[in-house]
A and B are shown apart, each in its own frame.
Chain A
Amino acid sequence: MTALLRVEDLTAGYGGAVAVDGLSLALEAGEAVALLGANGAGKSTLLKAVLGLVPASRGRIWIGGEEATGLAVERRVRLGLGYVPEGRRVFPGMSVRDNLEVASPLGRAGRAADLDAVFALFPALEGKAAERAWRLSGGQQQMLAVGRALMGRPRLLLLDEPSLGLSPKLAGEVFAAVKAIAGTGTAVLVAEQSAARALGAARRAVLLRLGRVVHDGPADRLPDDALRDAFLGG
């Protein structure tokens, strides 16, 4: 079976600093994977390199069996990637509805159906559809960022620190939505420092340390020492 995402020997970073170092990883369709590690482990850089926001200096990437290495970001999105960045990055001066609609590749009718689906997942957004995104609370902006990524009908959703800056209650709501999305068959790769939340939404855990995979296995059988080593070193 062809993997939905395959990364081989990927090296990426910023200037001379290597953040992802010869990393290989594969994800099957519908899989929910938690990408865990300490600050600077390379989680965000891996997601950005898969999407094409950070160029790979070495290695290859396939999305849905199609080689995506060197493709423009928007081409990778069309291959089935959805991206929820760290810090939300909603379009602040646009309304909630426009933030959602802009990410849709579909015509008016398709967009309307997908909007309804997003509002069903995040009812808090429906009543604020006409509001400018900057007026939303942090939690609502996070929901908007997830909803916006879903409007692209992704086969694989890349989430970067979705609980960052949120209260425990709101973070719980966001992760409940992530779990629901994973339950619909959309693959999810979630980079998160809060291991407990991410493991609750995922079936597989990948631990990164210094840009390399140090553990890859079922989320419910993650050895404590592997987790401790990934976060604290060892």
Chain B
Amino acid sequence: MIILQLLVNGVALGAAYALVALGFVLVLNATSAVNFAQGDLVMAGGLLAVAAAPLLPLPGVLLLPVVMALMAGLGVLLALAAYMPLRRRPPVSVFISTIAVGIILQNGASVLFGPEPRAAPPLFSGGSLSLGGLVVAEQSLAIIAVAGLLIAAQGWLFARTQLGRRLRATAQDPEMARACGVPVTAMILATFALGTAYAGVAGLLLANQFFVAPTAGGDLILKAYIAVTIGGWGSVPGAVAGALVIALFEVGVSSVLSYPVALGALYVTLLLILVARPQGLFGEAARRRA
């Protein structure tokens, strides 16, 4: 029974991490730029939910579209300020500009909210469900449902719609996409909006059970980076799989041993995966930017 309990908790955490990693990999694919602000954007989404909760006394699930919309707007601003002016420069320029955005977000959050961790409202209620001998936090189930829905919606958008085809074409070969009449600049802005909206959702989901503080972004970008490296650089399914692997260690291994041991084991596993499959678990897809 305890294994089932850990599995639910692990999948819930992995689902939220998957949204962080998905946003990261979408921007990476569309622009070839590593967005080092992604972790701080998750933090910003969490604190946005914290700030919006007293103004809009709604359950978290109704706050979710508001956070998504505002964060999508922030994503467009991020693209316009930190990516578009530097897109013809060497990639290191965008690394630095997104690191700068992260520092600005972190310090801005410290000034506005103070350094203490805060909790965002739960999606539905903070209660638990008892299923046989299994006690599951409603928030965990809600996280799995919301993240699963968003990942499925993204899969549908990319596979079934003309917008998704244009986003994928832009990610695979922006110059050729332009030559096919695709408005590439609009697609890049849309990708930043989508990736940042995902960061906002992850922030709201994580900030209830795990709290959010202005310095949380560093840890989250590291996890996104590891998830994408495990899954295969640039692979969307790989990012989801990598996020679930991280959560498996953080919840499963740490419950048996300890959190520091679980982290050590995660890094050893990462190294072993890279030795066996340097391209990551979904490496072929990553090479072709599937």
The interface of chain A, by Cβ under 8 A from chain B, is 51, 53, 72-74, 77-78, 83, 85, 89, 91-94, 98, 101-105, 132, 134, 148-149, 152
Contact B176 A89 (CB under 8 A): yes
Contact A93 B172 (CB under 8 A): yes
Q: Do residues A134 and B181 form an inter-chain contact, with CB atoms below 8 A?
A: no
Residues of chain B with a CB closer than 8 A to A74's CB = 178, 181-184
Per the 8 Å Cβ criterion, residues 168-196 of B in contact with A are: 168-169, 172-173, 175-184
B173 touches A91 (CB 8 A): yes
Chain B count of residues within 8 A CB distance of the other chain: 21
How distant is the Cα of A148 from the Cα of B177 in the complex, in angstroms? 11
Tell me, in angstroms, the Cα distance from A199 to B264 when the chains sit together.
67
CB atoms of B288 and A134 under 8 A apart: yes
Residues of B contacting A105 in the complex (Cβ-Cβ under 8 angstroms): 181
> Which B-chain residue is minimally distant from A102 (CB atoms)?
B165
B181 to chain A: closest residue by CB:
A77
Q: List 25 A-B contacts (CB under 8 A).
A: A53-B178, A73-B178, A78-B181, A83-B179, A85-B179, A89-B173, A89-B176, A91-B169, A91-B172, A91-B173, A92-B288, A92-B289, A93-B172, A94-B165, A94-B168, A101-B162, A101-B165, A102-B162, A102-B165, A102-B169, A103-B180, A132-B288, A132-B290, A149-B180, A152-B181
Q: What would 12 more interface pairs be, CB under 8 Å, given A98-B168, A101-B165?
A: A73-B178, A74-B183, A89-B173, A89-B176, A92-B288, A93-B168, A94-B172, A101-B162, A102-B166, A102-B177, A103-B181, A152-B180
User: Within the assembled complex, what's the spacing in Å between the Cα atoms of A105 and B181?
Assistant: 8
CB <8 Å contact, A53 and B165: no
Decide: A92 and B181 in contact? CB cutoff 8 A. Answer: no
**How far, in whole Å, are A134 and B287 apart by their CA atoms in the complex?**
11
* Cβ of B285 under 8 Å from chain A: yes
Task: State the CA gap A92–B178 with chains docked (Å).
Answer: 16
Q: Which B residues are CB-close (under 8 A) to A152?
A: 180-181
Q: How far is the CA of A152 from the CA of B166 in the complex (A)?
A: 14
Chain B residues with CB below 8 A from A53, complex form: 175, 178-179
How far, in whole Å, are A105 and B165 apart by their CA atoms in the complex?
A: 12
Query: What separation, in Å, do the CA atoms of A149 and B289 have in the docked complex?
Result: 22
What is the CA–CA distance of A5 and B168 in the complex, to the nearest angstrom? Answer: 31
CB of B176 within 8 A of CB of A91, answer: yes
Closest chain-A Cβ to B284's Cβ sits at a distance in Å of 10
**What distance in Å separates the Cβ of B186 from its nearest Cβ neighbour in chain A?**
9
CA distance A77 to B176 in the complex (A): 12
Nearest B-chain residue to A92, judged by Cβ: B288
Report the Cα distance A34→B177, complex, angstroms: 25
Tell me which residues across on chain A come within 8 A of B184, comparing CB atoms.
74
Contacts of A83 in B (CB 8 A): 179
Q: Chain B: which residue is nearest A104 at the CB level?
A: B162
Are B168 and A91 within 8 A (Cβ)?
A: yes
Once the chains bind, are B181 and A93 in contact (CB under 8 Å)?
no
Cα(A104)–Cα(B285), bound, Å: 25
Which residues of chain A come closer than 8 Å to B168, judged between CB atoms? Answer: 91, 93-94, 98, 102
A148 and B180 in contact (CB under 8 A), knowing A94-B168, A102-B169? yes
Residue from the set A51, A74, A77, A101 with the largest chain B CB neighbour count within 10 Å: A74
* Minimum-distance CB pairs A-B, first 4: A77-B181, A103-B180, A93-B290, A93-B288
Least CB distance from A94 to B in Å reads 6
Smallest beta-carbon distance A134→chain B, Å: 6
Residue-by-residue, is B98-129 near A (CB-CB < 8 Å gives 1, otherwise 0)? 00000000000000000000000000000000
> What residues on B are CB-neighbors of A78 within 8 Å?
181
Judging by beta carbons under 8 Å apart, are A102 and B179 in contact? no
Docked pose: A104 CA to B184 CA in angstroms: 15
Q: A44 → chain B, closest Cβ, in Å?
A: 13
Within 8 A of A (CB), among B194-209: none
CB contacts (< 8 Å) of A91 on chain B: these are 168-169, 172-173, 176-177
Contacts of A148 in B (CB 8 A): 180
Known contacts A94-B165, A94-B168, A134-B288; A77/B180 CB under 8 A: yes
Q: Residues of A contacting B169 with CB < 8 Å?
A: 91, 94, 102
Interfacial chain B residues near A101, Cβ < 8 Å: 162, 165
Give B185's nearest chain A residue, CB to CB: A72
Name the distance in Å between A47's Cβ and chain B's nearest Cβ. 10
Residue of A nearest to B289 (CB): A93
What is the bound-complex CA distance between A202 and B182, given in angstroms? Answer: 29
Q: Is the Cβ of A73 less than 8 Å from the Cβ of B173?
A: no
Choose among B178, B181, B184, B290 the residue with the greatest number of A CB atoms under 10 Å from its CB. B181
Q: Is the CB of B183 within 8 A of A98?
A: no
* Chain B residues in 8 Å Cβ range of A98: 165, 168
Please give me the residue from chain B that is nearest to A105 by CB atom. Answer: B181
